[in-house]
Amino acid sequence: MSRILIVEDETIIRSALRRLLEKNGYQIEDAGSVAEATENFQLEEFNLIISDLRLPGAPGTDLITMVESVPVLIMTSYASLRSAVDAMKLGAVDYIAKPFDHEEMLASVDNILNHRQTSASVQESADTSGQTEIIGSCTAMQELFKRISKVARTDATVLIQGESGTGKELAARAIHEQSQRANAPMISVNCAAIPETLIESELFGHEKGAFTGASTSRSGLIEAADGGTLFLDEIGELPMEAQARLLRFLQEGEIRRVGSVQPKQVDVRLIAATHRNLKALAKKGEFREDLYYRLYVMELKMPPLRDREDDIIEIAQRLLKKSCKRLNAEALEFSQAALYTMRHYHWPGNVRELENAIERAVILAEGSLIETDLLGLDLEVSELTRIEERYNGQVTEGRNSNARQTGLSLDDYFQRFVLENQDQMSETELARKLGVSRKCLWERRQKLGIPRQKK
């Protein structure tokens, strides 16, 4: 079990973060300042330190130099987000803006710990074979791997397109790790997460007095990535003025801080990602057409999970093993019904939704088997019908060990299950056991003519 130290002077934030991480299987200690942390704990014994940037006494960045063997994740408010660039230069492994999203925090912690466990020697080695693992044996993924390998050898700008949750940042990291820039930093920026009023300052930096509150000069995230890679996620959310500055950076290889007249040369490889159709946005005047064509040097398309039927179970098995280990749970396995449902479910949230469903199932599992209902998939009638048609009349729901042998259709099994259990179960419990929503249960009752039992 990974051991994490939280250093945060605000009690409410410290307690909330502690509960979040403990709930997800981490062993947590906390302190209110750098002094308290060093007095009460041996910092080298932790796997990760999460610290606020601004603390009473000494700043959180002091922890970076105190214990170089342990990664430090810096938390900072939007108002001081530009200070995170300095933290990265001092050696912080990553930063996260407050108020942080729970999923974003968990993903960041997971990425840091996994990177440390599986590739601790990467930064000390000249080997650039790459450590980021992307699972996929289907034709679309094999083609993607070939493209990543080819484009990684160049400094070409890359545009990664795909739905939310398909792994666009994983692809970007794979490109960086297989490139000649692997030992230099890769700075990741979610353009949708930074307020529009701050985006230019964050990317390009600013000079003292450039705007109200700019009491000192600050370098931007592009400068922080000098020599390495800049990954701009959700680039379609960039405001027009920032797009113009980004275009100049791509054309000239130079930036100009907000409030400065002097340009500065930088050597940065750009990888951008979006779930939106930039070409359509450009035609509507919502995205600069000249920037779109600058980005469209090499395009990578991340296939949605629903089109990767052959990969879903392999990914699910890997995520299940990972969740069991992280949550300190006994080894679990999927029922045949759960496996079939996962293969044919639409997965609008893609791999991220699959990971969340499996983590939920691991937390709720009482035996050694994960049934369909534990995944918490909100199957509506249209989705259930689609799965039924693909199954060719065979039973797909969980808890059906004898149903397959009887040759029941899905409707037959649904009707029998409801009639046999509605006296003992509420509508909510029936829907949960069948792995469908209450609305779906009601509509299915109407279709099959099953009256609701009066109590």
pLDDT digits (tens, 9 = 90+) for 247-295: 999 999 998 888 887 888 999 999 999 999 999 999 999 999 999 999 9
Look at residue 36 in the predicted model and tell me its pLDDT. Answer: 94
Please, what is the average pLDDT of the chain?
Answer: 81
The lowest-confidence range among 3-17, 140-154, 376-390, 427-441 is: 376-390
Alpha carbons 362 and 265: distance in angstroms, whole number: 50
Look at residue 390 in the predicted model and tell me its pLDDT. Answer: 55
Domains annotated for the chain, with CATH where assigned, are: 1-119 (3.40.50.2300), 129-303 (3.40.50.300), 306-448 (1.10.8.60)
The answer, yes or no, to whether residue 130 has pLDDT greater than 50, is no
Are 126 and 177 a contacting pair, CB within 8 Å?
Answer: no
Q: Report the percent of the chain where pLDDT is more than 70.
A: 83
Which two three-digit tokens encode residue 418?
A: 């409801």
Alpha carbons 371 and 333: distance in angstroms, whole number: 9
Are 49 and 73 a contacting pair, CB within 8 Å?
Answer: yes
Which two three-digit tokens encode residue 104?
A: 């974003």
Are 268 and 154 a contacting pair, CB within 8 Å?
Answer: no
Alpha carbons 325 and 24: distance in angstroms, whole number: 11
Look at residue 278 in the predicted model and tell me its pLDDT. Answer: 93
Look at residue 121 in the predicted model and tell me its pLDDT. Answer: 31
The answer, yes or no, to whether residue 176 has pLDDT greater than 80, is yes
CA dihedral sign of residues 230, 231, 235, 238: negative
> Residue 389 — very low, low, confident or very high, per pLDDT cuts 50/70/90?
low
Look at residue 84 in the predicted model and tell me its pLDDT. Answer: 61
Which two three-digit tokens encode residue 140?
A: 């679309």
Look at residue 48 in the predicted model and tell me its pLDDT. Answer: 93
DSSP symbols for 5-66: EEE-S-HHHHHHHHHHHHHTT-EEEEESSHHHHHHH--GGG-SEEEEESS-SSS-TTHHHHH
Name the helix (H) or strand (E) containing 160. strand 158-161
Q: What are phi and psi of 429, to 5 degrees?
A: -65, -40
Report the largest interatomic distance among the alpha carbons of the chain, rounded to a whole angstrom: 79
User: Nearest-CA neighbor of 157 among 126, 179, 130?
Assistant: 179
Angstrom CA distances, 44 to 22, 61, 116, 326, 448, stand at 20, 16, 14, 21, 63
Alpha carbons 355 and 227: distance in angstroms, whole number: 34
pTM confidence score: 0.61
The answer, yes or no, to whether residue 89 has pLDDT greater than 70, is no
Strands 229-233 and 269-274: parallel
Q: Mind listing the pLDDT tens digit for each residue in 200-225?
A: 888 888 788 777 666 677 788 998 89
Q: Report the percent of the chain where pLDDT is more than 90.
A: 34
The answer, yes or no, to whether residue 386 has pLDDT greater than 90, is no
Q: How many CB atoms lie within 10 A of CB 155?
A: 15
DSSP state of 436: B
The answer, yes or no, to whether residue 405 has pLDDT greater than 60, is no
**Burial of 46 (C-beta count, 10 Å sphere; 0-12/13-18/19+):** buried
**When comparing pLDDT for 79 and 141, which is higher?**
141
CA dihedral sign of residues 403, 373, 420, 391: negative
Q: Mind listing the pLDDT tens digit for each residue in 118-127?
A: 333 333 333 3
**Burial of 70 (C-beta count, 10 Å sphere; 0-12/13-18/19+):** buried
